[in-house]
Amino acid sequence: MRISLATLSQIKNIGNPICIECVHFIRHVPYYKDGQIDNKYGKCKYFGKKDLVTGEIVYELASTLRHEINRCKPEGLYFMDKKTMDKKTAFELAREFYH
């Protein structure tokens, strides 16, 4: 009998998708912390607000959205895996989403 590591782990959210693997994730301008890129300030293209004066779209922090019940939630409701999505599909979705 095989037992999954997820069933043995006491780590919360172990089976949930991570934002950096999502097509909507915008990496933060590289900030290095101990030699590593810090992505905790990455944003999400799925949620944002348009400035009515400048037209600039300000996206929200992915880390905040994952904790909000009416947004992406810890389960990653709007998660789309960029590894499994082919380029044509990603382009079509982006065109549909942003126009």
Write out 16-32 in H/E/C secondary structure.
Answer: CCCHHHECCEECCCCCE
Confidence at residue 99, expressed as pLDDT on a 0 to 100 scale: 53
Percent of the chain having pLDDT more than 70? 66
CB atoms within 10 A of CB 44: 22
Percent of the chain having pLDDT more than 90? 46
Query: CA 9 from chain center: how many Å?
Result: 23
Query: What residues pair up with 43 in beta bridges, in sequence order?
Result: 26, 61
| pLDDT mean across residues, the chain | 81
> How confident is residue 12, by pLDDT bands cut at 50, 70 and 90?
confident
Q: What is the CA radius of gyration of the chain?
A: 16
Confidence at residue 90, expressed as pLDDT on a 0 to 100 scale: 63
Q: Which of 46, 50, 42 is nearest to 24 (CA)?
A: 46
- How confident is the model over 15-23, as a mean pLDDT? 93
